[in-house]
Structure 1
């Protein structure tokens, strides 16, 4: 039977084979050929570069529509689509010089449009851009994006906050798979390393139509690094040094591709001592170590494309409970500490039919989290295993109408192996079905969709009821219908408007349903509520963008109403010498937005000025403020670009002044926070030395060693300041 199945599959593939090819010449605005232009087909994970005559060739391409991307430093990226591929296709491109951001393809939305054609405003940032800012961790880099901030525990643990929502209300995707790592805990970090990540996309608002539960507040979508161009081999080494934490971040990667096959592998090691505050003291046991390994293998032809990726991440995190105590430069963590091992396996396949295609993502995550109080025997150990599936069928295009139907789901188990239980053993099952459509005419786009989801949670009873750490069994089912509708149009030349209305939902997590004990780090006894209902929200977003050769401007505004918002409230009693808090629900609202501009004056082509302001306010139905709402922020950057003869290329120098205002709009259990201003400097570029070339970055963050405490720092209650001055040196070699 097996041989018949294989023969049938091979025969089916042979029928689908098209052996199409695209070729052309890429020139500049003087019609001179450009050498080394990257020509990439994102869906096939396949690319090439132009030769000495500016020529490129891509073979073994599928039928139907093909999207190509052309990139070259100093020129505006171009995205071109060929609707109906023939056996041979010619596409010549003329690149235009540009000093502004590229018009990126947005992968996190349904139809993978470029940003200027996308109905939803999505923030895009490359890892290269974030590296130029010299931040120590991935989450610190993300927090520089307008509308994004972080709940931090020192420099080692950071959780993303999108427009005031965090934790299980923000969904994180890596390698096309939703990341599940007990993210309900404030002291549980992102668990991702920036090495081997190409870029990040941020959806600031409900994305439940595409992602289901937990995308109520938004999505962080990490795009993995690309494979090498066809018939090439590349090796890369990068090293970063951090003065404040005496830290080091090393990464080595290799990748190679043939016409059909492709492979890559990257290993990284990150180690830091306790971070230093203004004045020179170190925060005891804020040190951490991280090991990360990523690999991937792919194959593509005219019938299908498939990519298998694997990521292993190991974290050894110190928990800074003593504040500023014993001073040490050691990188070996002491007690209490966390140990987290995370395995992520993803498999993406696209099958091309005559006028349609099937896109399937499968993912498996094994998260092993241990907490050690005073010995190497874990007092708390949880193993979370998650299997994800996501299948989308792109229906044949009808005129200007594109449509997708799909199913999505998750099977998850949580098991405890330590002496203490934070949440019970449990099984969670998700299932969702959705449909969405996109219609374009002239400069207008309208997009909408519907979705139904069901989440079932079943837990196992544990302990003696009434005692700390005991749980009674629950068996819950949560249903939700969601919809979205968006419209994009050009109001005038270079002026774009986007209007979106979307609903989202989040089923209560295990901690909210079942907690019964002291939550470490919060110093309070938390009691869950098995009668909690699903959080359901409706958000309206409006975006205006204007851009010409020398000026860009944007305004984003939003209003988010949430029914059954879940939060903790004091009962007025004590257990285990801690105040008792219970989970309750109330309606809530959040509103605010971001505004910014980018000015590039002529004839000063080397000068850039960028500024942005972001604000968010969160309130309960009774008028009280919500907790963990970031303070208003005003960010200003002056950046220059330059070249020094033939030995220093793509040079830049930047001065950044980041002002965070007072946060006086606090909940009943928070304290106000004072504002502060940080000054940062950056310098870098590509050094050419004979046949050797490497990139270098030198950054000075918090240059004046300002002493401050961020409002969303979990060390704020102990009066522990954030990191002081930090000089970061980074080099990147192509071997």
Structure 2
């Protein structure tokens, strides 16, 4: 690693960067200047606002090609790619009246293209959009995105599922670094809050070329909130109240920036009592308390861009069990989880004449405790992960862009509790990649290749032949992976994307070494040290059509996985717990998503969206895979309006979700019934005199429907999901 960086810096230590200036005007089709347009350069974390004459200006910009975004109330957001290779560049833009959504820049793919330019279809949603849908938690919001579901334990624990794959098959990135939090367990949540998160990008399919092992099923990429605009001080206070759980979420944040330095900080506190089911009963010990704190420091000049962020998240979560005495109202009872997550990230960019170098360094510390009683720690696992991701963007050659990169991590797992699920172990990853993007006319071709090597070494623990015995392992897993994607415009408004990619996942410690009762799953699990890599090949086809008033998308995929790892019941039991072995077989998952967005002219304030998603998972033997979400049909009618000057950017929505029966269950699952949920939403910006605030009001499960999702971990006990829940949100900016 050190020699690699040294070679890069020596090779590019002599560079010439012009201190470029970008200026221009923003106007409408009548050549009328538009004031207060936010003009931003996301890659450089720079932002400014147009003045009364519609003019804007950036100084001290590096050479290179960047995306410039323009956004203003009542106008369609616009993004333009500009090459800065001279001292002064003029860029004048015309904004259309708002009818369609923004063409976002995608950060999770290496070339950072606009969504319309990207070879790979990536779902992008702002956290504000997820909250307007009534999402009470971050994972609940993710589950509203077509192709994404969740494995839930009440309201407190949610694990994302992408097209039927979850756990270690889905990689989570936050602040530009991978989030490691013992994700092998079904009862382990995401371990992060939506406070201080700007948006999420979802890659649905193998992303091993970009991220290595554990990205076989897809990637969730969370973008942190932006810094303040230059020479500005900003802040906000957000308060949410939840009727069902008598819950409260309070968030406070401030940020300030000069021309070169930026600082932000945010704190959040959530508390929820036990949730109530439609019958009126409460599910004991589904209560939880979450604390979250974030701080960020940024610096940028003509030659260098740096961003340091730190996040601390604490979760105190009750684990529902029978025969618990319902006391204390909000404080989680025993058994419970007490989880600390620390994440540090340092993102750097070095700008050369016609190229740039990016380096992401990260450190995560997951301190997980499961307590049976006061001062009785059953499980105590400390997972520490140091990671790096370095990419060099070669000088562009005509229409060809190329990136080379190296990634890796060093991870240790240490046990301090009375019980062990996995042994003390060390994991080391290293991988290298090269990928290119070529554009001509309305076509884009992207291809790449990558090599990865993972070494896992664990310690012996316990007595051979008894529960809790772990034999030491020293295993190495390696894989070559490739990706090929093609995008073209079949017609002016019709885009076709075709992607083929391979992915891999090395077996995790639980799959290799387990020997005992996994209390969270009520199974006696036995690992297999002879497990091989999971290796897959997925083909994705995406078709999109969009004009000013109608949008349509259709996504289809076929994902074949060799050596798919799964739990198989042996038909025996130990101390009353059914025994399951980790075994392998070839498997396939297939399905897709289809949807429309219609906002008819002249009723541009009216929006109708509808989507259907489906996934089927089968082993080559014909048996169905476990934890495959049921098919879902979702419909939303949304109106947007203003009421004079006191109520701006108002919206009202009605959402109807129909989840179909899940009869394609695995051998140790039961079938699930269908159900329909009705949800309402209302909100906007209120201006009364000098008082300004944002209001949101949601009613989830308005009809108080009794239902149990197929992926609910409380399904085996016949416990329904949450009943009617009214959510009131107030946000004050200053």
**Common topology (TM > 0.5):** yes
Match of 1:624 in 2: 623
Match of 2:279 in 1: 279
**1:15 positional shift:** 6.0
Moved more, 88-97 or 281-290: 88-97
Match of 1:544 in 2: 543
1:45-84 map, 5 Å: 45-84=45-84
**1:181 positional shift:** 0.3
- 1:321-366 alpha-carbon deviations (Å, 9 max, x no partner): 2289x55671101100000001000000000011100010000001
The CA distance in 2 between the partners of 1:154 and 1:323, in whole Å, is 17
Match of 2:193 in 1: 193
The CA distance in 2 between the partners of 1:432 and 1:13, in whole Å, is 25
Match of 1:494 in 2: 493
Moved more, 595-604 or 86-95: 86-95
The CA distance in 2 between the partners of 1:690 and 1:29, in whole Å, is 33
- 1:579-606 alpha-carbon deviations (Å, 9 max, x no partner): 1111000000000000000011111121
- 1:29-55 alpha-carbon deviations (Å, 9 max, x no partner): 332222221111111111111122222
1:144-543 map, 5 Å: 144-322=144-322, 326-327=325-326, 330-543=329-542
**1:21 positional shift:** 1.3
**1:16 positional shift:** 4.4
The CA distance in 2 between the partners of 1:473 and 1:13, in whole Å, is 46
Flag structure 1 segments of 5+ consecutive residues without an equivalent.
Answer: 1-8
The CA distance in 2 between the partners of 1:441 and 1:589, in whole Å, is 35
The CA distance in 1 between the partners of 2:532 and 2:323, in whole Å, is 38
> 8 Å contact 2:443–2:488 — kept in the other structure?
yes
Moved more, 76-85 or 55-64: 76-85
> 8 Å contact 1:250–1:269 — kept in the other structure?
yes
The CA distance in 1 between the partners of 2:428 and 2:412, in whole Å, is 9
The CA distance in 2 between the partners of 1:323 and 1:485, in whole Å, is 55
> 8 Å contact 1:323–1:718 — kept in the other structure?
no
Change (3 A) 1:329 1:601: farther
Change (3 A) 1:651 1:623: same
**1:64 positional shift:** 2.0
Match of 1:564 in 2: 563
> 8 Å contact 1:284–1:323 — kept in the other structure?
no
- 1:111 lines up with 2:100 in the alignment: no
> 8 Å contact 2:528–2:582 — kept in the other structure?
yes
**1:14 positional shift:** 10
- 1:271-307 alpha-carbon deviations (Å, 9 max, x no partner): 1000111021110000000000011001101101000
> 8 Å contact 1:443–1:490 — kept in the other structure?
yes
Equivalent residue pairs, number = 725
Change (3 A) 1:323 1:112: farther
- 1:448-490 alpha-carbon deviations (Å, 9 max, x no partner): 1000000000001011111111111000000100000000000
Match of 2:5 in 1: none
The CA distance in 2 between the partners of 1:716 and 1:36, in whole Å, is 52
The CA distance in 2 between the partners of 1:347 and 1:321, in whole Å, is 41
Q: TM-score, normalised by structure 2?
A: 0.97
- 1:662-706 alpha-carbon deviations (Å, 9 max, x no partner): 000000110000010000000000001123321110000000000
The CA distance in 1 between the partners of 2:110 and 2:487, in whole Å, is 15
- 1:210-247 alpha-carbon deviations (Å, 9 max, x no partner): 00000000000000000011110001111111000101
| Backbone CA RMSD of aligned residues | 1.4
- 1:399-423 alpha-carbon deviations (Å, 9 max, x no partner): 0000100000010000000111110
**1:90 positional shift:** 1.2
The CA distance in 1 between the partners of 2:17 and 2:304, in whole Å, is 9
The CA distance in 2 between the partners of 1:704 and 1:328, in whole Å, is 29
- 1:588 lines up with 2:587 in the alignment: yes
The CA distance in 1 between the partners of 2:640 and 2:222, in whole Å, is 28
Secondary structure at the aligned position of 1:139 is classed as helix
1:93-104 map, 5 Å: 93-104=93-104
Match of 1:634 in 2: 633
1:577-726 map, 5 Å: 577-726=576-725
Match of 1:4 in 2: none
> 8 Å contact 1:16–1:302 — kept in the other structure?
no
The CA distance in 1 between the partners of 2:67 and 2:595, in whole Å, is 31
**1:134 positional shift:** 1.6
Change (3 A) 1:92 1:691: farther
> 8 Å contact 1:16–1:303 — kept in the other structure?
no
> 8 Å contact 2:15–2:353 — kept in the other structure?
no
> 8 Å contact 2:432–2:452 — kept in the other structure?
yes
Secondary structure at the aligned position of 2:373 is classed as coil
> 8 Å contact 1:273–1:329 — kept in the other structure?
no
- 1:350-392 alpha-carbon deviations (Å, 9 max, x no partner): 0001110001000000110000012233111000000010000
